[in-house]
Amino acid sequence: MQRMLIDFSGDDAVFGHFGATGGYALAARRAMHEFGTGPETWKKIAVGQRKWAGLNPAAMLRDKPLSEADYDAARWVVEPLRLPDNCLITDGGRAIIVTSVERARDLRQPPAVIMGLGMHNPSTSITQSDWMAGPTGARPAGEAAFAMAGITRDAVDACEIYDCFTYTVEITLQDYGFFKPGEGRDWLQGGTIEPGGRLPVNTSGGQLAEAYFMGLTPIAEGTMQIMGRCGQRQLGAATKTKSPEIILCSDNGGILQSHACILLRRL
Amino acid sequence: MPYEKPLPKRNPDNQPFWEGCKNHELRFQECSACGHVRWPPSLLCPRCHSPEARRLTAKGTGRIYTFAVYHTAYHPGFAAELPYTVAVVVLDEGPRLLTNIIGCPPGEVTCDMPVEIVWADIDENITLPKFKPA
């Protein structure tokens, strides 16, 4: 494992820079400097997602509620990121089946329909990036997906955002335009993304609190929510949220080096 | 005491850089066609694709673009130094170097802080470019 981490890090390891937490810590720190975000914003994401995990029997952290005080007391991994800012490490798998709408109509399960897709891959190594505080690939990818779907953000009922770190959730929602740079902290106030909130985010608990299955955690959850298969955490009356017609899902790779946005809707 | 941290992996592309460090010089390729100063080293200019380059020796001054403070030792060689600061320093000539900030408590490091080079001699072959507040 250590050998892999060193090989993966190349000469960055010479200076003690390893893996993903360090890379996202660099990005998150620059964002603190440029638009005034920080742990007060990320705390709302970590705490909010943990509430969703409490409703998910499959969530690794279902029985470990997280309060704001717990977050404040948590240890630094690589500052400015604390332990609850980090995703989980999970053995397991997820799959989704993609077929034509025509075929899906005849299946027993109701489908989720792909209404828009967008990708943008800035690629640049994070150590050579001058856009760590955005806009990341999420902006053009989101614009492309919304254009293909022919809708605007206002039509989105919930988001399943790739959440390797809490900061990734903030910068992704920000680059999609849900709030202006630095306004995430206010936007998140009052449980916006939580059960009962006006824009639920990462309704399984996400990779921070359910399980880390790379891009499959968000897209599988978005699909299952549209299909109505989410039990106690199902969007709609059960969680005092809007019944989902349209869900936005994102994926992200490297240290903000690749991005995909996918919009799903009910048939 | 033996040096227990990872060492640079030398190759024909980065050899001039590490040779320069040994001589306490920050050597980069400067594109002969467009003037872009390249880092990491490359066969072609990433801006204009010209293969022609001359050597540029950087002054060793710049500012911190961003930084991260490690509280976790992912490699045992760094355990004794926790917490330590990793930073991206933008040199005045343009290149962005991943490096360490030393001689400054992590809590006092800030983005955009002016810094200057400190040469960390490891052995007769390896010297690492680190930075301290200017």
Domain ranges of chain A: 2-266
Q: Is the pLDDT of residue A7 over 90?
A: no
Q: State whether B6 and A13 contact (CB < 8 Å).
A: yes
Q: State whether A130 and B9 contact (CB < 8 Å).
A: no
pLDDT of residue A3: 73
Complex-level ipTM: 0.96
Angle in degrees, CA A50, A53, A54, rounded to 5? 95
pLDDT of residue A86: 98
CA distance A16 to B87: 10
Q: State whether A26 and B128 contact (CB < 8 Å).
A: no
Cα-Cα end-to-end distance for chain A: 44
Q: Is A162 a catalytic residue?
A: yes
Structure tokens at A134: 């955005």
Contacts of A130 in chain B (CB under 8 A): 65, 96
pLDDT of residue A204: 98
Q: Is the pLDDT of residue B2 over 90?
A: no
Q: Is the pLDDT of residue A183 over 80?
A: yes
- Over residues B17-29, the mean pLDDT reads 97
Q: Is the pLDDT of residue A2 over 90?
A: no
Tens digits of residue pLDDT in A106-133: 999 999 999 999 999 998 888 889 988 9
Percent of chain A with pLDDT over 70: 99
Tell me the whole-structure pTM to 2 decimals: 0.96
- Over residues B33-58, the mean pLDDT reads 95
- Over residues B57-76, the mean pLDDT reads 97
| Phi, psi of B75, deg, nearest 5 | -140, 135
Contacts of B97 in chain A (CB under 8 A): 127
Per-residue CA distances from B134 to A26, B101, B113 (Å): 21, 11, 8
Secondary structure of A189-254 as H, E, C letters: CCCCCCCCCCCCECCCCHHHHCCCECEHHHHHHHHHHHHCCCHHHCCCHHHCCCCCCEEEEEEEEC
Q: Is the pLDDT of residue A155 over 90?
A: yes
pLDDT of residue A124: 82
Q: Are strands A246-253 and A158-160 parallel, antiparallel or unpaired?
A: parallel
pLDDT of residue A126: 83
Structure tokens at A171: 């910068």
Tens digits of residue pLDDT in A228-252: 999 999 999 999 999 999 999 999 9
Shortest CA distance to B104 belongs to which of B85, B78, B88? B85
- Over residues A179-192, the mean pLDDT reads 98
Contacts of B100 in chain A (CB under 8 A): 15-16
Domains and CATH numbers, chain B: 10-58 (no CATH), 60-134 (2.40.50)
Q: Is the pLDDT of residue B1 over 80?
A: no
Contacts of A29 in chain B (CB under 8 A): 66-68, 111
Is A73 buried (19+), middle (13-18) or exposed (0-12) by CB count in 10 A?
Answer: exposed
Q: Is B63 touching A (CB cutoff 8 A)?
A: no
pLDDT, chain A, mean? 96
Q: Is A167 a catalytic residue?
A: no
Q: Which of residues B121 and A4 earns the better pLDDT score?
A: B121
Tens digits of residue pLDDT in A10-53: 899 999 999 899 999 999 999 999 999 999 999 999 999 999 99
Q: State whether A75 and B81 contact (CB < 8 Å).
A: no
Q: Are strands A258-266 and B61-70 parallel, antiparallel or unpaired?
A: unpaired
Q: Is the pLDDT of residue A254 over 90?
A: yes
Q: Is the pLDDT of residue A1 over 70?
A: no
pLDDT of residue A90: 96
pLDDT of residue A8: 72
Q: State whether A26 and B100 contact (CB < 8 Å).
A: no
Q: Which of B68, B77, B81 sits opposite A25 (nearest CB)?
A: B68
pLDDT of residue A5: 72
Q: How far off is chain A from B101, nearest CA to CA, in Å? A: 10
Q: Which of B66, B67, B74 sits opposite A5 (nearest CB)?
A: B74
CATH T-level topology, domain A2-266: Peroxisomal Thiolase; Chain A, domain 1 (3.40.47)
Q: Is B5 touching A (CB cutoff 8 A)?
A: yes
